[in-house]
Amino acid sequence: QQRLMSDSVQDFTSVLQNAKKVVVLSGAGISAESGIPTFRGEGGLWRDYDATELATPGAFAANPSLVWEFYHYRRTIVAGAAPNAGHYAVAALQRRCRRQDKDFVLLTQNIDGLHARAGSNDVVELHGSLWKTRCCHCKAVETNRDMPICAALDGKGAPDTANEANIPSMQLPRCQKCNGLLRPHVVWFGECLERDVMNRTNDALQGCDLLLVVGTSAVVYPAAGYAPMVKAHGGVVAEFNTEDTPISYNCRFKFQGPSSVKLPLALG
Ligand code: BJW
Ligand code: ZN
């Protein structure tokens, strides 16, 4: 297939200038340079597991201790990480759109909370948050930043060991209301995105004339469908990624390279 994507900052700037409704969709790649492992490719393994094998309701049902070790490890990494220039560029874009009376929505597949820490407001967290729990019994959702989240996970979750902690269920994080088992409030494979999140996303994509897709492999639905959808409705798609992806051929612009460099470059 012919490469038709442009990397002209000048042309991109004029499209951005004329856009009325700008949407950013980010994925794990935007946080890679903050030291947070992505899912696919290098760093996508935790112990001997493919990270996506653990992100399923079946994995949690079979071994909640193992899945909690994995999420505890990721909470530890993120707590010690900071947003990078890519996150800050997205936050600055939101402020600029507000000044210029453009609509702006940030959709992220990431659960790390780094966009908000960089100053982005009203972030739509498509796949939930590392910093929220949901009770398997009463379904209550709570914010929880305790480190460790429970005593039994202290010192557990190391990626370079084969030893499983095998924590008894009663010592895993439990609900303060009903003592049910808590799980991370994230969206695993086969689960639906929250209704409110879906509504906000549909509103964002409706009439979006410029979509920036940053650091996502664009293989996980529904987010993988957003670029083709925007393009089909006549909007412009700009991709920021170190690699090509299945959506690259929907893109008018392709800024190939680390998003911490290419976002500030393209967004001025
Ligand atoms: C850089 C960089 C740098 C690196 N700078 N770039 C339609 C067709 C086929 C299947 C389905 C379908 N609809 C639904 C499905 C099933 C499934 C699915 O999509 N499967 C596919 C894999 C085929 N989807 C679902 O189950 C979704 N639910 C749903 O649709 O419900 C209704 C339904 C259910 C069942 C059947 C049908 C309908 C839910 C998906 C939930 C995904 N959850 C996870 C875990 C979240 C919690 C957690 O974080 O632990 O979300 S999986 C994982 O993948 C995580 C991520 O958000 C998601 C996407 O990954 P992302 O962000 O793209 O990261 P990577 O690692 O893949 O890519 C990184 C990219 O960055 C790469 O491209 C690098 O090149 C780049 N990069 N460094 C710029 N410095
Ligand atoms: Zn409960």
Q: Which residue, judged by its Cα, is nearest atom 62 of ligand 1?
A: 27
Query: 110 alpha carbon to ligand 1 midpoint, in Å?
Result: 10
CA-based nearest residue to 102, from 27, 17, 40, 172: 17
38 lines ligand 1 (CB under 6 A): yes
Q: Which residue, judged by its Cα, is nearest atom 8 of ligand 1?
A: 221
Query: 216 alpha carbon to ligand 1 midpoint, in Å?
Result: 8
Can you tell me the distance from the alpha carbon of 198 to that of 191, in angstroms, rounded to the nearest whole number?
13
Neighbour-count burial for 54-87, b at 16+ CB within 10 Å, e otherwise: bbeeebbeeebbbbbbbbbbbbbbbeebebbbbb
Please give the C-alpha separations between residue 96 and each of 7, 89, 100, 209, 241, in angstroms, as whole numbers.
Answer: 22, 10, 6, 16, 23
187 lines ligand 1 (CB under 6 A): yes
Query: 171 alpha carbon to ligand 2 midpoint, in Å?
Result: 15
Cis peptide bond N-terminal to 57, omega within 30: no
Can you tell me the distance from the alpha carbon of 159 to that of 178, in angstroms, rounded to the nearest whole number?
32
Ligand nearest to the backbone CA of 39:
1
Q: What are phi and psi of 36, to 5 degrees?
A: -100, 120
Measured between its terminal Cα atoms, the distance across the chain in Å is 31
Q: Which residue, judged by its Cα, is nearest atom 37 of ligand 1?
A: 190
pLDDT at position 224: 98
**Is 115 a catalytic site residue?**
no
- What is residue 21's three-state secondary structure? strand
C-alpha dihedral, 172 to 176 to 179 to 185, nearest 10°: -60
- pLDDT per residue as tens, the chain (268 positions): 456 899 999 999 999 999 999 999 999 999 999 999 999 987 789 998 998 899 999 999 999 999 999 999 999 999 999 999 999 999 999 999 999 999 999 999 999 999 999 999 999 999 999 999 999 999 999 999 999 999 999 999 999 998 999 999 999 999 999 999 999 999 999 999 999 999 999 999 999 999 999 999 999 999 999 999 999 999 999 999 999 999 999 999 999 999 999 999 999 9
Can you tell me the distance from the alpha carbon of 220 to that of 130, in angstroms, rounded to the nearest whole number?
19
51 lines ligand 1 (CB under 6 A): no
List the catalytic residue out of 115, 127, 137, 185. 127
Taking the alpha carbons of 115, 116, 120, 122 in that order, is the dihedral positive or negative?
Answer: positive
89 lines ligand 1 (CB under 6 A): no
Which residue type, as a one-letter code, is found at position 258? P
Q: What share of the chain is helix, strand, coil (3-state, %, to 5)?
A: 35, 20, 45
ipTM: 0.97
239 lines ligand 1 (CB under 6 A): no
